[in-house]
Amino acid sequence: MGVAWRAAVVLAVFAGVGWLTSHAVQVHELANGAVGAEVRLSAWMAGLFAGGAAALVAGIALVMTRRR
């Protein structure tokens, strides 16, 4: 059961950080007058990268703090 909770935490971190980053990039670029389709693509890619990096760090932290 502990593995399921750890997996859920890693997925939640991925989704949360990815969505927040994507939203922040879209707001920032659209405020500067960029083209909508290009902004959307770059925001999604930034969200995937940031979410993946945060999920990797969260996964490593959960594995390192595992009780034996």
pLDDT at residue 58, rounded to an integer = 96
pLDDT at residue 56, rounded to an integer = 97
How far is Cα 52 from Cα 1, in angstroms, rounded to an integer? Answer: 23
Torsion sign across C-alpha atoms 22, 24, 27, 31: negative
pLDDT 10s digit of each residue in the chain, 68 long? Answer: 788 999 999 999 999 999 999 999 999 988 888 777 888 899 999 999 999 999 999 999 999 987 65
Place of tokens 């927040």: 20
User: Whole-model pTM?
Assistant: 0.85
Please tell me whether residue 49 adopts helix, strand or coil conformation. Answer: helix
pLDDT at residue 36, rounded to an integer = 76
pLDDT at residue 68, rounded to an integer = 59
